Amino acid sequence: MSKVSVIIPIYNVEKYLEECLDSVVNQTFKDIEIICVNDGSTDNSLQILEEYALKDNRIYIINQKNRGVSVARNNGIKKAHGEYICFIDPDDIYPTDDILEVLYNTAINNKVLICGGEFSDFSNNEKPYVLKQNFDSSVKGYIFSKDELIQYKDYQFDYGFTRFLYHKAFLLKNNIKFPKLMQFEDPPFFVKAMLCAREFYGIHKITYGYRCNHKITIFDKKRTLDLLKGAKENLKYAKKYKYNQLSDTTCIRLEQFYNSYKDSLDWKCLWLLNTMQKYNSKIEDFIIKNNLMFKDYIFNEIFKILQKLFSIRKEYSNNKKHNVITILGIKIKFKKSSNKKSQKNYKKVLKNLEKEVKLRNLRVCFLVNETAKWNAQSLYDEMKKSDIFEPFVIVTNLQNLTGRPSYSHLLEFYKSCVDNVQIGWDENTKQGIDLKMFRPDIVFYQQPWDLYDNQNVEYASNFALTCHFSYAMSDAASCIEAHYHDFYSILYKYFVFSDAEKEEYKNKMKDNCKNVLVLGHPKLDVYKDYDEHKYENKYVIYAPHHSLEEDSLNYATFMWNGEYILNWAKQHPEFDWVFKPHPRLKQALIFNSIMSEEEVENYYSEWAKIGLYYNDGNYFDLFKNSKCLITDCGSFLIEYLPTCKPVIHLRNPKGIDYIPSCRIAMEAYYKAWNVDELNKYLDEILIKNNDYMKNVRIEIQKNLKLQDFNSTKKIINFLKESIGKNK
């Protein structure tokens, strides 16, 4: 019988598994067994385990179907032979080689059932790893001030179970195991163990290293419901033992996770949350604060049904606003102009700006909320040179934060792009800051959706001219149509790429398009002095789109080529590869069950090993220095055309039609509908260097008048004329 059993649950962690195993097998305490529970991995994790098991007979492999981390750990407990048990996750490490020796000897010498040390984390992006313990007050239990025996009633903490050693017979006797949850499965295990033991020995030493910044957890309805179930278990324990500190800490956990799970709350989650009020009054405060009352939810659902039968409200049909009276499901519509108010506002704003421009520079705001969609650099730079404009960037956030990078990353990116960045989002309230506070005269919107009420175009039209040019040069008409009623029709000016786009917009919207102006696109101004002979034919860029959902644009083709292109790239290291995915691809792959979170992270990390993973907005230098682009992204079909280099256009037969300019550009690209065609073009273009459609692209570029890269100046001149400065 071994003295300690180390249990490792494993699912698709080939990138980090060896580091974890090395930190365990190299422990100075040798009398251990290492139980590796392979939870149905589909990557090379099992192969790595088998290689280590051949070299170290202390390693035991248990294979099971993918049933989750709780089942994996519980199976490990059943198979364990050690006197004590500990747990480590396969992407984490023991920070020093003496961890198990210190924990075991301390447990034996002090005759305790549970013994543990301190928790630390380290960034996956730092090499060598730096252990950190700068924790806030909600996780102060991660650290012990000295070595001592501690009563759990004086500790009442719930996180960090992996830094402890547990007596195996004690766990079995008290039926202490992990609940079958996808989220918050370990705090109930940890709390029950502590309650049964009543005391433990704490060591003033870091005994666990937690890897961070390497994966994203996306909350769906199942994960959200499991989080609430786990929290309820701990609240019940706290109520039973009258542990008020533990109860309050659990309430804090619900608050901390809220922005991640709030969009996944359904009636089951709300019902469960509302049943938790009896355990702590702070739950009631939390529910009221965030308007999460179950009875209100039910009332609203009933109201929606009644509204379909009897109502008076505003609706949008054919992109026109109507007053609608509904009686027993029969609708009677009365037309009402959707943009009359905003156009009246602009007349007042223009009169005011004609006066103000004589006294001061006009403040031009670029309202941004994503890095990959930054396309106004040339316009910002040109306005900076102007004697009448004062440009600045307001960095806000999207209302739906799921799968988004941190706000600090947004700020850092834009501070690297421009010299005047303003904070437009309150990290405490998670709300946009009132746009009016920044005193803008002109507002350029980066995109039409997910805007806060105090920053949207209708609100801004009361005090500023609102403008927009699409971040993507391939917006399908359906995309414009979806947002027309509350964005495009209210804009002061919507700048489009070509006459063909304006005409299609007009036909689709049945609108006179008075606020639509054809001035090209500022994105393409980066090509003004471009000469392909001055740049390297270096990068091969793979840029997959995110539109995997049935009701989306359906441009995405990742399902049939994602793995194939990665493997082809691995087989051809002679090329400099760039992986440039759409920023929403990760989230789309997980939501559409194409890949698990672990599989997505592994896929992205594989690209980082063989080339450059690039996910920000300033990508035109990559384009200029590239050899070829492989993509299903509509916007890139135009944006890449001025390079005169080949594109392998990955096609989806369900894809929504492109804008006219894209359709023209596509005639000069190599269209791949399947793996066989893709392989043919990879061989022809990259291996044989035979780009036989280049002359066609040059001719199309002339027909589209892409040599006229002056959109930035045209927009500035138009704004000057609007305020009477060019008269």
pLDDT digits (tens, 9 = 90+) for 578-605: 999 988 898 888 888 888 888 899 999 9
DSSP 31-50: -EEEEEEEES--SSHHHHHH
CA-angle at 85, arms to 15 and 39, nearest 5°: 40
Phi, psi of 546 (to 5 degrees): -100, -10
Confidence at residue 52, expressed as pLDDT on a 0 to 100 scale = 96
pLDDT for residue 322 is more than 60: no
Q: Do 534 and 573 belong to one domain?
A: yes
Domain boundary among 215, 240, 268: 215
Cα 332 to Cα 326: distance, rounded to the nearest angstrom: 6
Domain-embedded: residue 78: yes
CATH code of 596's domain: 3.40.50.2000
Q: Do 509 and 588 belong to one domain?
A: no
Q: Do 189 and 81 belong to one domain?
A: yes
Domain-embedded: residue 643: yes
Q: Do 494 and 554 belong to one domain?
A: no
Q: Do 471 and 560 belong to one domain?
A: no
- Tens of pLDDT, residue by residue over 141-151, are 999 999 999 99
Q: Do 42 and 97 belong to one domain?
A: yes
- Tens of pLDDT, residue by residue over 513-537, are 788 888 888 888 878 777 777 777 7
Domain boundary among 164, 192, 215: 215
DSSP 688-718: S---TTHHHHHHHHHHTTTT---HHHHHHHH
Domain-embedded: residue 311: no
Q: Do 367 and 516 belong to one domain?
A: yes
* Nearest CA among 264, 263, 239, 234 for reference residue 249: 234
Confidence at residue 195, expressed as pLDDT on a 0 to 100 scale = 97
What number of CA atoms fall less than 13 Å from residue 364's CA on the CB side? 23
- Tens of pLDDT, residue by residue over 658-681, are 666 777 778 889 999 999 999 999
Task: Using a pLDDT cut of 90, give the percent of the chain over it.
Answer: 59
| Integer CA distances (angstroms), 290 to 262, 265, 285, in order | 9, 12, 9
Confidence at residue 436, expressed as pLDDT on a 0 to 100 scale = 94
Q: Do 516 and 567 belong to one domain?
A: no
Task: Give the global pTM.
Answer: 0.50
Domain-embedded: residue 288: no
pLDDT for residue 493 is more than 60: yes
CA-angle at 622, arms to 413 and 713, nearest 5°: 70
Confidence at residue 312, expressed as pLDDT on a 0 to 100 scale = 61
How many domains in the chain?
A: 3
Q: Do 570 and 497 belong to one domain?
A: no
How would residue 562 be classed by pLDDT, with cut points 50, 70 and 90?
A: very high
Domain-embedded: residue 301: no
Q: Do 481 and 629 belong to one domain?
A: no
Domain range enclosing 31: 4-215
pLDDT for residue 318 is more than 50: no
* Nearest CA among 211, 226, 245 for reference residue 138: 245
Q: What is the mean pLDDT of residues 326-345?
A: 66
Domain-embedded: residue 113: yes
What number of CA atoms fall less than 13 Å from residue 256's CA on the CB side? 13
